């Protein structure tokens, strides 16, 4: 995927760049509003990761500009302000998603994948990982052509793992992904453990391999052994 990272904090933009490159994406970084406008006008990106608070302009204007020029590509807003207004306005004028700082890279990755899936209808509504096949259109998971009966949480968890294969995913990021912002104070990691355990059990029961590796103290890694 070709991505544009618009973030004025050098350190953060570099981190995002590094991580997304590691994920196999092609990334470009714009540190200012004008730079971002230029890059977005010239190149075609699959997704733009956009910080709203830029020193020389409001990220929301960039979205308006892009939409008026009918530029395609998903937009993921990144903001320190979890202010509802920004979120509502941003989504209204055409952004695809909204992520509040600080975020986990695993979450960022999952969101970018999800935006990409939604914006590209052809051939992308199916994710395959060896014997595991996920039909994202109707939320169905097959392991060796056996349909898995998963709970909503287990399904989300599997999708989250899929978006971050071969990466360490912290338990914190899983909690945030599964329960969202409102349940920030639900921090009992037993929850995660239960879900992971059940998911693993179901995959293995359908003759799937155990890809979920526990990284002690940290979280998990969905790894192709």
Partner 1 sequence: MNLLTKSTYYFLLLSLLAMITGGALLYLTIKKVIYKQIDNSLIIEKTIIQDQIEQTDTIPDFEATFGHQIEVKLLNYAVRNYQSIKDTDIYDSKTDSFTPFRYIFSTGNTIQKKGYIITIFQEISEKNELLQDISLYMFFLFFSLLLISILINYLIARRLWRPFYKSVKIAGRFDIQSDKPLDLPLTDINEFNQLNDVFYDMTHKMRNDYLNLKEFSENASHEIQTPLAVIRSKTDLLMQQKNLNKESLSLIKSINEATTKLFKLNQGLLLISKIENQVFHEKRIVSLKNILESGLENYTEILQLKKIKVELDLTDGALVEMNDVLAEVLISNLLSNAVRFNIDNGFIKCHIDRNSLTITNTGSSMTIDPEFLFRRFHKGSDNPHSVGLGLSIVKKITETYGMNITYTCHDSVHEIRLQFRHKSH
Contact residues: partner 1, CB under 8 A:
9, 11-12, 15-16, 18-19, 22, 80-84, 100-106, 151-153, 167-168, 170, 172, 179, 181-191, 194-195, 198, 215, 217-218
> Toward partner 1, which CB reaches closer, 205 or 215?
215
Residue keyed to tokens 């075609």: 44
CB of 23 to partner 1, least distance (A): 10
CB of 223 to partner 1, least distance (A): 12
Strand 2-6 to 26-30 pairing: parallel
Report residue 83 as tokens.
């202010």
On whether the CB atoms of residues 206 and 146 are closer than 8 A, the answer is yes
CB of 133 to partner 1, least distance (A): 24
* Cα–Cα distance measured from residue 225 to residue 208, given in angstroms and rounded to the nearest whole number: 12
On whether the CB atoms of residues 75 and 94 are closer than 8 A, the answer is yes
> Toward partner 1, which CB reaches closer, 66 or 90?
90
On whether the CB atoms of residues 2 and 26 are closer than 8 A, the answer is yes
Handedness of CA 58, 64, 65, 70 (dihedral sign): positive
CB of 153 to partner 1, least distance (A): 7
> Toward partner 1, which CB reaches closer, 129 or 179?
179
> Toward partner 1, which CB reaches closer, 122 or 185?
185
CB of 183 to partner 1, least distance (A): 5
> Toward partner 1, which CB reaches closer, 104 or 117?
104
- Cα separations in angstroms, 26 against 18, 49, 163, 174: 10, 13, 16, 26
């Amino acid at each position: 995927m070709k991505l544009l990272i618009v973030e004025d904090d050098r350190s953060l933009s570099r981190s995002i760049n590094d991580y997304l490159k590691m994920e196999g994406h092609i990334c470009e970084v714009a540190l200012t509003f004008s730079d971002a406008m230029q890059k977005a006008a010239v190149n075609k990106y699959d997704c733009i990761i956009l910080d709203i608070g830029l020193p020389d302009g409001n990220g929301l204007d960039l979205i308006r500009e892009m939409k008026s020029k009918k530029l395609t590509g998903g937009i993921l807003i990144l903001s320190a302000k979890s202010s509802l207004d920004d979120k509502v306005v941003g989504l209204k004028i055409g952004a695809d998603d909204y992520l509040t700082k600080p975020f986990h890279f695993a979450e960022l990755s999952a969101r970018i994948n999800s935006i990409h899936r939604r914006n590209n209808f052809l051939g992308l509504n199916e994710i395959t990982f060896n014997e595991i096949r996920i039909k994202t259109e109707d939320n169905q998971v097959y392991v060796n052509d056996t349909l898995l009966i998963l709970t909503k949480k287990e399904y989300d968890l599997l999708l989250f793992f899929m978006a971050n294969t071969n990466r360490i995913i912290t338990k914190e990021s899983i909690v945030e992904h599964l329960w969202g912002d409102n349940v920030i104070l639900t921090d009992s990691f037993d929850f995660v453990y239960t879900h992971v355990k059940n998911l693993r059990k179901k995959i293995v029961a359908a003759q799937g391999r155990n890809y979920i590796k526990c990284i002690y103290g940290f979280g998990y890694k969905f790894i192709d052994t």
